[in-house]
Chain A
């Protein structure tokens, strides 16, 4: 065997390299440690909702198994594959540099490491990963320079990205050339297949050992310097997600996406000004963000040109957090970023951005790193409402109506039962009992269009023979609009009233008409002490159809497209049952539409937007209507009063008068 790599490098060089490495790793470590300290200065997390075993299994699937990226591959968006190459390539090369360059070359253990089958097997793997990495780097650069997918924008950061890609490219080429040279110079006994190829190329094109040794020397130092630059760069770039995203995935807790986290409404609530006002998980998420922009792609507000980009919200908060935590960039940053660093948290996101959100959870669903931009937006809204009383003036009317009259229409308790006039529905009180309690909701109680639907649902229940009752005047708003706008205080007030009322009554289960009420009663009331069995009416109807208590007798020949309500499909995973109901009606052809099931596109009515202004020229509901009518349906069917009203409005304003908008209940009324 020829001279060791160590012999080609002088002792001084090896010392310099080790010192460089240690100092840059040290600086990186200091920055990461500072970030760790900042994250830990947030509010501690609640108890985990799953066992360590479940957690580990999930982590193994998503991180090493890269399901975070493979799970959302589509024909139009296959970029996730290249991340698998990147992930495993970087891991393998991390090991390579540690074992073969640091321990091997710099510290002189090369002979020990490069003997035996482990070394050969490893080099074979690293050769292949090197090729895959080169492919991934070229592909990544091509996407940013040529394809320019919207979600990576609006700032493609081409300079930084090109630079890092170039550095990566250089590293890979260095690797192949150096391994090839090592082989030629006899420094090593074996190498991977691609390196061998490079070795042959070098032997044919370059001259003798002297020349090759010289080039080896140069390339080795190029590799070393590039490595060191990368180590300096990583802690201040989006690439730090490599450390934080797996941690975030490990500490995520599984619960229905529709559930918001609660907040203690006492003197300890300080709004959102400093780092310690956030939760640790939220702070971790700021660093875990990869800037991939899938949230931006999924956001209906961004799609309709509002000033809301979930990606920007997270990134702005990350820049804010670094600034508030005293982490400085080692190079100059633009003015906007500088301004962010000196603000309070709630100032860093503008009003227009904040109120444009419809709380549809699409961003949360789309994120491969398990980040939820939504819960930051809600916390910022809470700060605006609870600490400053700052919101659009029209929201004042909503709050006033709900506070004074107990419903979102301001019509009052006395008129709450009017939808049921003539139906002879049993009203639940402390003196009677029932099996099923039909929770109507504000829309069903007062909105002219929706009242008919709820009456039809009550009639359906009558026909099924089930023992059911309504709350009548005792029903107060479930609190969803108040909570989504950020008014936790009002929500607590309403929820406590409802829970107290419900706990004094006798019923087995609650069936709700509205998905928002369903989400509240099922997912958010338990935290305030109200634990009930809650179903959405689509679940109940499916049950009745399976049992045979309800039978679909008539046919309805029609092309129907079903619009999944956000709070039903994405928030609670309920998209199969409504489709089952519709498919069991003879004659119905269920058309498919883009953005359905978990990826459904919001109708625009959530997050308080039924009462809030919509900025911009493009309307969310019209955008969704256009998606739904693409396959020429005769009717758009949904199972949410907000969706119904918003989509009907959208159809009218787009002049599509031939397409009707119906609720599933209306379909059943005509066919059962």
Chain B
């Protein structure tokens, strides 16, 4: 039984402390490189399948620049058996379609029973590559999977799919299939020292994107089908405060009070100091001023 995990090594912007407006104020220190967390979860899913079915092999596949090999090394350290790297110097210039086309092309020459990937990457958040690859390969796909159970003979897979607010759909699917994984599966394991040392010895097979043989048409032409025409940062929005006559519930009003901005939860507010006796009148004052309690 063979499971392939699609891994994206992302360039994640966690802060904006740069000085150039042309770079959206993103400086070199604001970027970290890491495996997309959802792909890590997909890898954990694959490794869990292997834990339960010992004759499974797990292969990690990534399309990225040469630093993406670090992601594959980590996948190998966590327990993947093989790793394949499609190397391309400027992966940020490829859109979801092009990436999916390249991955499909390579996957067509591999055999597999299951392909797992995260439901989206946290840098661009398109969530398209998984479904594109599945369609390109002509296999079924299920999204937002949080639990995978293989049947005894390993011919079908039964999955739980997160719908909303804790509801689950249970679906069954023939294999080969592609599943996109959502947050909610088990916590990804931590690499052990033997795993890290062994990873150094497992080879990573590298292909260059330009060397891929596009010969026979796959139905997926390797071209960007979208073009980014602009990128803007969110402007700081004015704080919303609930008016005295508002019909919002008290809890929602308190939340509005606590938010510094619409996108930051519970980061604002004032910290009062002093003894309980000193603080209480001030608390009452604030609640009264904001219409949360009335006299």
User: Could you tell me the distance between the alpha carbons of A391 and B197 in the complex, rounded to whole angstroms?
Assistant: 20
User: Could you tell me the distance between the alpha carbons of A12 and B275 in the complex, rounded to whole angstroms?
Assistant: 88
Closest to B29 in A: A414
Cβ B17 vs Cβ A269 within 8 A: no
For A377-403 the 0/1 string (1 means CB < 8 A from B) is 000000001111101010010010000
Cβ A389 vs Cβ B196 within 8 A: no
* Cross-chain pair count, CB within 8 angstroms: 45
Q: Which A471-520 residues have C-beta < 8 A from chain B? A: 473, 488-489
Contacts of A336 in B (CB 8 A): none
Cβ B15 vs Cβ A412 within 8 A: yes
Q: How far is the CB of B171 from chain A (nearest CB, A)?
A: 28
Q: How far is the CB of B281 from chain A (nearest CB, A)?
A: 16
User: Could you tell me the distance between the alpha carbons of A321 and B160 in the complex, rounded to whole angstroms?
Assistant: 48
Closest to A412 in B: B14
For A539-579 the 0/1 string (1 means CB < 8 A from B) is 00000000000000000000000000000000000000000
Closest to A415 in B: B15
User: Could you tell me the distance between the alpha carbons of A389 and B32 in the complex, rounded to whole angstroms?
Assistant: 24
User: Could you tell me the distance between the alpha carbons of A396 and B37 in the complex, rounded to whole angstroms?
Assistant: 13
Report whether over half of chain A's contact residues are helix, strand or loop; otherwise say mixed.
helix
Picked from A393, A414, A489, the residue with its CB within 8 Å of the CB of B15 is A414
With contacts A414-B27, A473-B29, A657-B276 taken as known, whether A389 is within 8 angstroms of B190 at the C-beta atoms is yes
User: Could you tell me the distance between the alpha carbons of A396 and B187 in the complex, rounded to whole angstroms?
Assistant: 9
User: Could you tell me the distance between the alpha carbons of A211 and B251 in the complex, rounded to whole angstroms?
Assistant: 98
Q: Which A604-663 residues have C-beta < 8 A from chain B? A: 657-658
Cβ B192 vs Cβ A389 within 8 A: yes
User: Could you tell me the distance between the alpha carbons of A385 and B189 in the complex, rounded to whole angstroms?
Assistant: 11
Cβ A413 vs Cβ B29 within 8 A: yes
Cβ A387 vs Cβ B194 within 8 A: yes
Whether A222 is near chain B, meaning CB under 8 Å from some CB there, is no
Name the residue in B30, B32, B193, B194 with the highest tally of chain A Cβ atoms < 10 Å from its Cβ. Answer: B193
Q: How far is the CB of B35 from chain A (nearest CB, A)?
A: 10
Cβ B193 vs Cβ A265 within 8 A: yes
Cβ B193 vs Cβ A269 within 8 A: yes
With contacts A414-B14, A657-B276 taken as known, whether A389 is within 8 angstroms of B189 at the C-beta atoms is yes
Contacts of A658 in B (CB 8 A): 275
Whether A157 is near chain B, meaning CB under 8 Å from some CB there, is no
User: Could you tell me the distance between the alpha carbons of A488 and B193 in the complex, rounded to whole angstroms?
Assistant: 9
For B188-214 the 0/1 string (1 means CB < 8 A from A) is 011111101100000000000000000
Contacts of B196 in A (CB 8 A): 489
Cβ A404 vs Cβ B32 within 8 A: yes
Closest to B275 in A: A657
Whether B34 is near chain A, meaning CB under 8 Å from some CB there, is yes
User: Could you tell me the distance between the alpha carbons of A650 and B161 in the complex, rounded to whole angstroms?
Assistant: 44
Closest to B191 in A: A389
Cβ B32 vs Cβ A405 within 8 A: yes
Closest to B16 in A: A414
The size bracket of the interface on B is 10 to 19
Contacts of B194 in A (CB 8 A): 387
User: Could you tell me the distance between the alpha carbons of A266 and B15 in the complex, rounded to whole angstroms?
Assistant: 36
Picked from B192, B197, B276, the residue with its CB within 8 Å of the CB of A388 is B192
With contacts A412-B15, A414-B15 taken as known, whether A387 is within 8 angstroms of B193 at the C-beta atoms is yes
For A262-294 the 0/1 string (1 means CB < 8 A from B) is 000111010000000000000000000000000
User: Could you tell me the distance between the alpha carbons of A412 and B192 in the complex, rounded to whole angstroms?
Assistant: 25
Closest to A448 in B: B271
User: Could you tell me the distance between the alpha carbons of A386 and B275 in the complex, rounded to whole angstroms?
Assistant: 47
User: Could you tell me the distance between the alpha carbons of A55 and B276 in the complex, rounded to whole angstroms?
Assistant: 58
Picked from A387, A396, A404, A657, the residue with its CB within 8 Å of the CB of B34 is A404
Closest to A405 in B: B32
Cβ A414 vs Cβ B17 within 8 A: yes
For A407-426 the 0/1 string (1 means CB < 8 A from B) is 00000111100000000000
Contacts of B27 in A (CB 8 A): 414
User: Could you tell me the distance between the alpha carbons of A219 and B241 in the complex, rounded to whole angstroms?
Assistant: 97
Cβ A386 vs Cβ B29 within 8 A: no
Name the residue in B34, B190, B196 with the highest tally of chain A Cβ atoms < 10 Å from its Cβ. Answer: B190
Cβ B187 vs Cβ A386 within 8 A: no
Contacts of A267 in B (CB 8 A): 197
Cβ B190 vs Cβ A399 within 8 A: yes
Q: How far is the CB of B75 from chain A (nearest CB, A)?
A: 15
Cβ A412 vs Cβ B32 within 8 A: yes
Contacts of A266 in B (CB 8 A): 197
User: Could you tell me the distance between the alpha carbons of A427 and B92 in the complex, rounded to whole angstroms?
Assistant: 33
Contacts of B197 in A (CB 8 A): 266-267
User: Could you tell me the distance between the alpha carbons of A404 and B14 in the complex, rounded to whole angstroms?
Assistant: 11
Closest to A385 in B: B190
For B1-35 the 0/1 string (1 means CB < 8 A from A) is 00000000000001101000000000101101010
Contacts of B32 in A (CB 8 A): 404-405, 412
Contacts of B191 in A (CB 8 A): 389
Q: Which B27-57 residues have C-beta < 8 A from chain A? A: 27, 29-30, 32, 34
User: Could you tell me the distance between the alpha carbons of A623 and B27 in the complex, rounded to whole angstroms?
Assistant: 46
User: Could you tell me the distance between the alpha carbons of A614 and B267 in the complex, rounded to whole angstroms?
Assistant: 26
Q: Which B66-123 residues have C-beta < 8 A from chain A? A: none
User: Could you tell me the distance between the alpha carbons of A137 and B17 in the complex, rounded to whole angstroms?
Assistant: 73
Closest to A488 in B: B193
Interface residues of B (CB under 8 A from A): 14-15, 17, 27, 29-30, 32, 34, 187, 189-194, 196-197, 275-276
Given contacts A387-B194, A389-B190, 16 further A-B contacts (CB under 8 A): A266-B197, A267-B197, A385-B190, A386-B193, A387-B192, A387-B193, A389-B189, A389-B192, A396-B187, A404-B32, A405-B14, A414-B29, A414-B30, A473-B29, A488-B193, A658-B275
10 interchain residue pairs of minimum CB distance: A389-B190, A386-B193, A414-B29, A414-B15, A414-B17, A414-B30, A413-B29, A657-B275, A389-B192, A412-B14
Listed A/B pairs (25) with beta-carbon separation below 8 Å:
A265-B193, A266-B197, A385-B190, A386-B192, A389-B190, A389-B192, A391-B190, A396-B187, A396-B190, A399-B190, A404-B32, A405-B32, A412-B14, A412-B29, A412-B32, A413-B29, A414-B14, A414-B15, A414-B27, A414-B30, A473-B29, A488-B193, A489-B193, A489-B196, A657-B275
